[in-house]
Chain A
Amino acid sequence: MRPATESNEFRRDLVSLLPKLRRFAMTLTRNAADADDLVQEACERAITRSHLWNGEGRLESWIYAMTRNLWIDEIRKRKVRTGGGTVDIADQDELTIEASGEKAVYANQLQKMILSMPEGLASVFVLVNVEGHSYRETATILNIPIGTVMSRLSTARIRLAAMISETTERRA
């Protein structure tokens, strides 16, 4: 059994990772409510399996892979249950993130816009470009070939570049 102090340290490490875990989950689920549920489930699983964490590499990589696997399972279950998949953020009537004031509304629109990119682009972009994971690490976390990481990344960058003029027009 894991000593209590070690377990507490693991929990503290998880708490400090929560904003990043939540962001990564958002790139998978593309809505805040599902992302929160997914993060909670991933953290619970990580705690029960913390004895398997060997301390090598980045803790978030281990939990990201777990989060991604849980989400794939969830998608499969939904497809079996209802014949449908996720509710894409682009299809939702309202934004899923609380906002007040012009700045917050703009931030919400921006989040909605970048999460509306085709599935898989945002996750790769966040892992490689924002968090500095290598192509190989990213491929392992997402369980996809390195070639797919490369093509998704270039597509994501071009899509994001196209959004710059779009957001400028909206703010004008």
Chain B
Amino acid sequence: MQNTKGLSLEVRLSAYLDGEVSDTERRELEELVTRDDEARLLFEMLQAGNTFGNKAFEDFLHDPVPLSLVRRIKQGTTLNPKSERVTATVPVHHRVKLWPRALAASIALLIIGGSTGYLLGMVNGSSQSNVEVAAARSWLDDIAEYHRVYSRQEKHLVEVPASAGDDEIRTWLASSVGVNFKLPALAGEGLTFEGGRLLVAAGKPVAQLMYKNADGDVFAICFLKSEPTGEQGKLNESIRDDLAMVSWQKSGASYVVIGPSADAKLRHLAETVSAEI
């Protein structure tokens, strides 16, 4: 609590608004506002400023965050944020000179990333052939491309809508891709099931379950039958431009959850899906 006695009335009333005054001062100020018109007007002005300012600053949160910034933080990539801003900016004099630090950080991250990759390669051995790696990569690349196209289809987001019934969609996709699954209930994650699609990626049938959040962002769960390679159940994160993907393998199938790269909770979503599907 602050002692505001002796300070100007607007400072005292402002502190009262924030609950930062003692009980004695609170009572004193409440009485003043009740009996003094000038004090009441001032108090109402402070309240109005609060409401207006809250709304205005809330709107700042809706500005898109530069995707390159998200990527740099999530993965330590060497992208130049200035060339990839999603918000347009005008040139400003006396800009911060960040390139020497960015360059140093990029080199350090490159060395760390390279050496980590090399060491992981040494640990895992060479059992995973180049062909398998290429196939896995192309599957996820195909999924990313599909997602970019379908997530923009407002009216035709899915091939079979959720209204067809969970059993209908589950039976259809399970028999088509050869993977038994349970439709994950993701209402707790703020997602509504929209329906499903059957895709072809890397030459194989892929099941796609589409969900939307309250903001209209589209998330998809895709899976296909596959031979077990690598560590089962381990989640792998990757980003393809505006999309983030979390993939894993489990019981003879490969899965991926895909959504906007700005979504920070995608991994948590993938963990939920992995446990439920």
Chain A interfacial positions (CB closer than 8 Å to B): 8, 11-16, 18-20, 22-23, 26, 31-34, 36-41, 43-44, 47, 74, 78, 81-82, 84, 86-87, 92-98, 107, 110-111, 114, 122, 125-126, 128-130, 134-135, 146-147, 150-151, 153-164
Contacts and interface: CB of A to CB of B under 8 A. Distances in A.
Interface residues of B, number: 55
Nearest to B60: A23
A87 B92 contact: yes
B18 A128 contact: yes
Contacts of B87: 32, 36, 97-98
B147 to A, nearest CB: 20
Contacts of B267: 12
Contacts of A16: 264-265
B122 interface: no
Contacts of A160: 48-50, 52-53, 56
Interface in B67-126: 69-70, 72-74, 81, 85, 87-96, 98, 101-102, 105
A79 to B, nearest CB: 10
Nearest to A41: B98
Contact of A98 (B14, B53, B88, B265): B88
Contact of B2 (A74, A92, A150): A150
Contacts of A164: 48-49, 52
B256 interface: no
B69 A18 contact: yes
21 contacts: A34-B92, A34-B96, A40-B69, A40-B72, A44-B101, A84-B93, A95-B90, A111-B56, A111-B59, A114-B53, A128-B18, A130-B54, A150-B7, A150-B14, A151-B11, A153-B14, A154-B8, A154-B10, A158-B49, A161-B45, A162-B49
B231 interface: no
A43 B68 CA distance: 13
Nearest to B265: A16
A15 B74 contact: yes
Given A16-B264, A135-B18, A37 B98 contact: yes
